[in-house]
């Protein structure tokens, strides 16, 4: 899809990768950006960068009335970027079940409910794209991120289903599979991380080039290559981490 003159909505845009996506979209001639966040107050600095083009929008993606209200306001959206997500650490058999429920509510049901609310709007606006943030650990599980892996793997399956359903309506559906990115989400983890600005750029380049599955950093591309050759080897490698 061509980004110039499109209207984008980015969830979780107050920090991390979402904030960098908003900044990059501005430079690509997007007409309007709805910057979604749980607390509109967290968006003040972001909106100040271009108050004529960035519209703050309160959206907690686990809150269906808030999604409905956002969809009533943002009727001109042609690009939905489902970036908001949470990651809880712990083994899935041992961590509090509430953490698994939280990850599923946000990463799976929240993402799905956003797509359900905005796909009809994008269709009415003559097509566009839906982008779902997944992760490289959706390909193979890292046991220390049990709930997160499962929620994102479910979201990957959902992404494929909605791709098939939305293709005849002129809506591209992209999955994004980052490796470690330097944001609050994995602040405490000591590992090589990609700059979120590079991830934002790779994602937007991928949307413009029509790449369905976007691997936006060197680590995710290396994992994807290994996974295509021998997915069981990647499963064993991740299991030992």
Size of the site for ligand NAP (CB under 6 A): 28
Three-state secondary structure along the chain? CCCCCCEEEECCCCCHHHHHHHHHHHHCCCCEEEEEECCHHHHHHHHHCCCCCEEEEECCCCCHHHHHHHHHHCCCCCEEEECCCCCCCECCCCCCHHHHHHHHHHHHHHHHHHHHHHHHHHHHCCCEEEEEECCHHHCCCCCCEHHHHHHHHHHHHHHHHHHHHHHHHCEEEEEECCCCECCHHHCCCCCCCECHHHHHHHHHHHHHHCCCEECCCHHHHHHHHHHHHCHHHHHHHHHCC
Does 110 help bind ligand NAP (rule: CB under 6 A)? yes
Stretch that binds ligand NAP, among 8-16, 25-33, 73-81, 232-240 (CB under 6 A): 8-16
Binding mask 138-177 for ligand NAP (x = CB under 6 A): ----------------------------------------
Q: Binder to ligand NAP among 35, 47, 87, 219 (CB under 6 A)?
A: 87
Distance, CA of 197 to CA of 76 (rounded, Å): 26
Does 85 help bind ligand NAP (rule: CB under 6 A)? yes
Does 11 help bind ligand NAP (rule: CB under 6 A)? yes
Does 56 help bind ligand NAP (rule: CB under 6 A)? no
Residue pair 34/55 in contact (Cβ under 8 Å)? The answer is yes
Q: Which is nearer to ligand NAP, 16 or 56 (CB)?
A: 16
Does 17 help bind ligand NAP (rule: CB under 6 A)? yes
Q: What is the dihedral of CA 119, 116, 161, 78, to 10 degrees?
A: 20
Q: Which is nearer to ligand NAP, 62 or 125 (CB)?
A: 62
Binding mask 200-229 for ligand NAP (x = CB under 6 A): ------------------------------
Nearest approach in angstroms of CB 111 to ligand NAP is 8
Nearest approach in angstroms of CB 168 to ligand NAP is 27
Q: Binder to ligand NAP among 6, 7, 14, 141 (CB under 6 A)?
A: 14
Does 4 help bind ligand NAP (rule: CB under 6 A)? no
Binding residues vs ligand NAP (CB under 6 A): 11-12, 14-18, 38, 59-62, 83-87, 106, 110, 133, 135, 178, 180-181, 183-186
């Amino acid at each position: 899809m061509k980004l110039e003159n499109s209207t984008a909505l980015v969830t979780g845009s107050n920090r991390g990768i979402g904030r960098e996506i908003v900044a990059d979209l501005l430079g690509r001639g997007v007409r309007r950006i709805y910057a979604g966040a749980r607390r509109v107050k967290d968006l003040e600095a972001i909106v100040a960068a271009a108050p004529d083009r960035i519209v703050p929008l309160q959206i907690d993606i686990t809150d269906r009335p808030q999604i409905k209200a956002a969809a009533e306001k943002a009727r001109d959206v042609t690009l939905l970027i489902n970036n908001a997500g949470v990651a809880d650490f712990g083994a899935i058999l041992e961590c509090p079940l509430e953490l698994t429920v939280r990850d599923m509510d946000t990463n799976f049901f929240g993402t799905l409910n956003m797509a359900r609310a905005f796909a009809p709007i994008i269709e009415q606006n003559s097509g566009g794209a839906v982008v779902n943030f997944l992760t490289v650990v959706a390909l193979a599980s890292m046991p220390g991120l049990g709930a997160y892996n499962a929620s994102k793997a479910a979201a990957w399956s959902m992404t494929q289903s909605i791709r098939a359903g939305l293709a005849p309506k002129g809506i591209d559906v992209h999955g994004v599979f980052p490796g470690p990115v330097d944001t609050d989400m994995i602040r405490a983890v000591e590992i090589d991380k990609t700059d979120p600005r590079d991830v934002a750029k790779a994602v937007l380049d991928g949307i413009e080039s029509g790449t369905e599955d976007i691997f936006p950093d060197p680590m995710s591309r290396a994992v994807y290559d290994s996974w295509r050759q021998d997915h069981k080897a990647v499963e064993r490698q991740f299991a030992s981490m």
